[in-house]
C-alpha cells in the first residue's frame, strides 16, 4: 500500500473539458470531505501555457460553474486551490517530461497519474514518463478512454503501457463503473436471496439495456465522427453493464474475483449476425419540444457515422442459453435514460384466464439515471367483486434509492474512481483481458457492417431511433420498455 502523505496526483489534460466538468469538481469534493490526505499535491499538465496561479484561476472558474451550490465553501475552496500546481507539457515531445519530473520532485512515496489524451499521444506519453523516471513501482496510472479504436490499436496501446507498468499499476477507466446504481446492481443480485435463483434462462425471458441521450454532438465533432455510437458507448459502458448483469456470483468483492467473472461473460458473447443489428443516424427533429438539426448539419459535412445502435446479443453459456440481451443506445433520442430491464418468463399456467384475467410477465427495471430506482412490476388484482371477470393489473414494487437514501450525498462517478486510483483499489477498473474481449466482439460487428455495406438508417431527433430498432424486439414478440 502506497502512503499518500507525500504523494502527488498528476492530471493530464488538466485544462480540458473533462477536467473542468468532472475531475476538478470531484477532487474538490474529496478535499472538502477530507477523504484525501492534506499533503496530496495535485499537479495539472496540458499543452497550454499556464503558471500555477493561472491554473488555480482556471480551476476556480470551473468550480464556480460546475459545483453544486451546497458544496461551495470559500475557506475549503482556498485550501483546495492551494494544492494545485501546473506544468506546461507538449506530450508529443519526450524532452518536456524532464521538466515535469522536476516539478513533481520526489515521487518515491507515491504518484497517481490520470491520463486522458488523444489516442496518438498515448505512446509518446508513456515513453516520456518512463524516460523521466515517472514509471517506477510506486506509480499508478489511470487511463481514460478512448484506448484505441479497435482490437489492434488497443493492443498496441496496452502493450506500450505494459512495457512501463505492471497490470496492478494500470487503472482503465469506464466511468459507468463508478456510478452508484451500477454498483447497486451487485447489491441487488448478491445481497438478496430472491433474485438469484431466477436469474438464468429458466426464469428470465430477455434483458434490455438502454442508454439513451438527448444531447447531440456537443462540440466533439472530430472525435465523435471517427468513433460512432458503437465504439463510444457499446464497446465500453454497455458491455460492462451487460457483464455485471450476466456474470456468475464472484467469491468476494476483490478486483480479481469480480473481473474474472466479468471477462468470462465477455468472452462468451456470440458474434452477432447482420439481422441482429441496426445502425441509425439522427435527422432534424424536436427533442423535448425544441427543434434541433440533423447530425450531418451539426457536423457540417456528409457522414455515415452511426449515432444510434441496437443489437440483439447472446451470451453463450449454460446460464443464458436462449436469453437475448437487447442493447440500444443513441444520441438525440426521446429522453435521457440509462436502464437495465430484466423481463422474467410468463407463469407456466394462467389460472385466471377463464375469468378474463390477463397476465403480463414480471419486469425488473433498474434505472441508473437520471432517476435511481429499482422497480419490480408485479401482477395484482384490481379491487372489486369481479362479477364481470377478474381484472389483473401490473403494479410497481418500488425502491426509490433517491428517497430511501435521501440523506446520503449522491457522488459523481469520478469522485469514487479518483479516490480508488489514489488509494490503489482496482475493482472498479477494467482489466486488459476485458477490454480486449470487448473489442473483439465489437470489431466483428463492425466487420459485418463493412462486409454488408450496412448503412445508418435515418431517425428523427426526439424519437426512439429508427423503426428497425423497434422491430428488433417486436419481431421476437417483445417490446422495449418505452
Binding site for ligand BG6 (CB under 6 A): 213, 232, 338
DSSP structure string for 133-200: T--STTEEEEEPSP--SSHHHHHHHHHHHHHHS-GGGEEE--GGGGSHHHHHHHHHHHS-TTTGGGSS
**84 with 42: CB under 8 angstroms?**
yes
Nearer of residues 100 and 229 to ligand BG6, judged by Cβ: 229
Short-list 28, 85, 26, CA closest to 411: 26
- Shortest reach from residue 373's CB to ligand BG6, in Å: 16
Residue reference for cell 436469474: 199
Nearest-angstrom CA–CA distance, 197 and 203 = 8
The Cα 5–Cα 368 span in angstroms is 35
- Choice between 144 and 205, CB closer to ligand BG6: 144
CB of 141 to ligand BG6, least distance (A): 19
Q: How far, rounded to the nearest angstrom, does the alpha carbon of residue 126 sit from its chain's CA centroid? A: 24
DSSP-derived secondary structure letter, 96: G
Nearest alpha-carbon partner for 87 in 130, 112, 51, 53: 51
CB 413 to ligand BG6: min, Å:
7
Q: Which residue has cell 393489473?
A: 393
Mark 165-197 as b/e (b = at least 16 C-beta within 10 Å).
Answer: beeebbbbbbbbbbbbbbbbbeebbeeeeebee
Would you list the DSSP string of 41-73? Answer: EEEEEESS---HHHHHHHHHHHHHHHS-GGG--
Name the active-site residue from 50, 175, 206, 237. Answer: 237
Task: Give the separation between CA 462 and CA 443, rounded to whole angstroms.
Answer: 29
CB of 58 to ligand BG6, least distance (A): 23
CB neighbours of 273 closer than 8 A, spacing ≥ 6?
Answer: 448
Nearer to ligand BG6, 149 or 377 (CB): 149
User: Can 237 be counted among the known catalytic residues?
Assistant: yes
Sign of the dihedral through C-alpha 267, 270, 271, 277: negative
Pairing state between β 285-287 and 277-283: unpaired
* CB of 244 closer than 8 Å to CB of 275: no
Q: Which is nearer to ligand BG6, 211 or 342 (CB)?
A: 211
CB of 197 to ligand BG6, least distance (A): 31
Question: Residue 280 to residues 233, 344, 456: CA-CA distances in angstroms?
Answer: 14, 29, 4
Strand blocks (E) in 268-361? 277-283, 285-287, 290-292, 308-313, 325-330, 337-344
CB closer to ligand BG6, 146 vs 250: 146
SS3 assignment, position 463: strand
Q: Which is nearer to ligand BG6, 169 or 438 (CB)?
A: 438
Shortest distance (Å) from residue 233 CB to ligand BG6: 6
Tally Cβ neighbours within 10 Å of residue 300: 10
Q: Which residue is nearest to ligand BG6 (CB)?
A: 232
C-beta closer to ligand BG6: residue 66 or 195 = 66
- Give the nearer residue to ligand BG6 in terms of CB position, either 213 or 276: 213
Task: Kindly state the smallest distance separating residue 338's Cβ from ligand BG6, in Å.
Answer: 6
- Shortest distance in whole angstroms from residue 214 CB to ligand BG6: 10
Catalytic residues: 237
Amino acid at each position: 500500500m502506497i502512503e499518500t502523505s507525500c504523494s502527488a496526483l498528476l492530471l493530464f489534460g488538466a485544462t480540458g473539458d473533462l477536467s473542468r466538468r468532472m475531475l476538478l469538481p470531484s477532487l474538490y469534493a474529496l478535499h472538502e470531505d477530507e477523504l484525501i490526505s492534506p499533503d496530496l499535491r495535485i499537479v495539472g499538465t496540458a499543452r497550454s501555457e499556464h503558471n500555477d496561479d493561472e491554473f488555480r484561476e482556471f480551476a476556480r472558474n470551473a468550480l464556480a460553474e460546475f459545483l453544486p451550490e451546497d458544496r461551495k465553501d470559500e475557506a475549503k475552496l482556498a485550501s483546495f486551490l492551494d494544492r494545485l500546481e501546473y506544468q506546461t507539457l507538449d506530450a508529443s515531445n519526450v524532452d518536456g517530461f524532464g521538466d515535469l519530473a522536476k516539478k513533481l520532485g520526489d515521487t518515491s512515496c507515491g504518484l497517481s497519474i490520470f491520463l486522458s489524451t488523444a489516442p496518438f499521444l498515448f505512446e509518446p506519453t508513456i515513453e516520456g514518463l518512463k524516460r523521466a523516471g515517472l514509471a517506477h513501482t510506486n506509480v499508478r496510472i489511470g487511463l481514460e478512454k478512448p484506448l484505441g479504436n479497435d482490437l489492434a490499436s488497443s493492443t498496441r496501446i496496452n502493450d506500450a503501457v505494459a512495457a512501463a507498468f505492471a497490470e496492478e499499476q494500470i487503472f482503465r477507466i469506464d466511468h459507468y463503473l463508478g456510478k452508484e446504481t451500477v454498483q447497486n446492481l451487485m447489491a441487488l443480485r448478491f445481497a438478496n436471496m430472491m433474485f438469484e435463483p431466477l436469474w438464468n434462462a429458466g426464469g428470465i425471458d430477455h434483458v434490455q439495456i438502454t442508454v439513451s441521450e438527448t444531447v447531440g454532438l456537443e462540440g466533439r465533432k472530430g472525435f465523435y465522427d471517427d468513433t460512432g455510437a458503437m465504439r463510444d458507448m457499446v464497446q465500453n459502458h454497455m458491455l460492462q453493464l451487460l457483464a455485471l448483469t450476466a456474470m456468475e456470483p464472484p467469491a468476494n468483492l476483490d478486483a480479481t474475483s469480480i473481473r474474472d467473472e466479468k471477462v468470462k461473460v465477455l468472452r462468451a458473447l456470440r458474434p452477432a449476425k447482420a439481422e441482429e443489428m441496426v445502425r441509425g443516424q439522427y435527422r432534424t427533429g424536436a427533442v423535448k419540444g425544441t427543434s434541433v438539426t440533423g447530425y450531418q448539419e451539426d457536423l457540417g459535412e456528409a457522414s455515415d457515422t452511426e449515432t444510434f445502435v441496437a443489437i440483439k446479443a447472446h451470451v453463450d453459456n449454460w446460464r443464458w442459453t436462449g436469453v437475448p440481451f437487447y442493447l440500444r443506445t443513441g444520441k438525440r433520442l426521446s429522453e435521457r435514460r440509462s436502464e437495465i430491464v430484466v423481463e422474467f418468463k410468463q407463469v407456466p399456467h394462467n389460472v385466471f384466464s377463464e375469468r378474463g384475467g390477463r397476465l403480463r410477465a414480471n419486469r425488473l427495471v433498474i434505472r441508473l439515471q437520471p432517476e435511481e430506482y429499482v422497480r419490480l412490476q408485479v401482477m395484482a388484482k384490481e379491487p372489486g367483486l369481479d362479477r364481470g371477470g377478474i381484472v389483473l393489473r401490473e403494479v410497481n414494487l418500488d425502491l426509490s434509492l433517491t428517497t430511501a437514501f435521501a440523506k446520503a450525498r449522491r457522488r459523481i462517478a469520478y469522485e469514487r474512481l479518483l479516490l480508488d486510483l489514489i488509494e490503489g483499489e482496482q475493482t472498479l477498473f477494467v482489466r486488459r483481458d476485458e477490454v480486449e474481449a470487448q473489442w473483439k466482439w465489437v470489431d466483428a460487428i463492425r466487420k459485418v457492417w463493412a462486409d454488408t455495406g450496412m448503412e445508418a438508417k435515418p431517425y428523427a431527433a426526439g424519437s426512439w431511433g429508427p423503426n428497425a430498432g423497434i422491430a428488433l424486439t417486436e419481431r421476437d414478440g417483445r417490446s422495449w420498455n418505452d
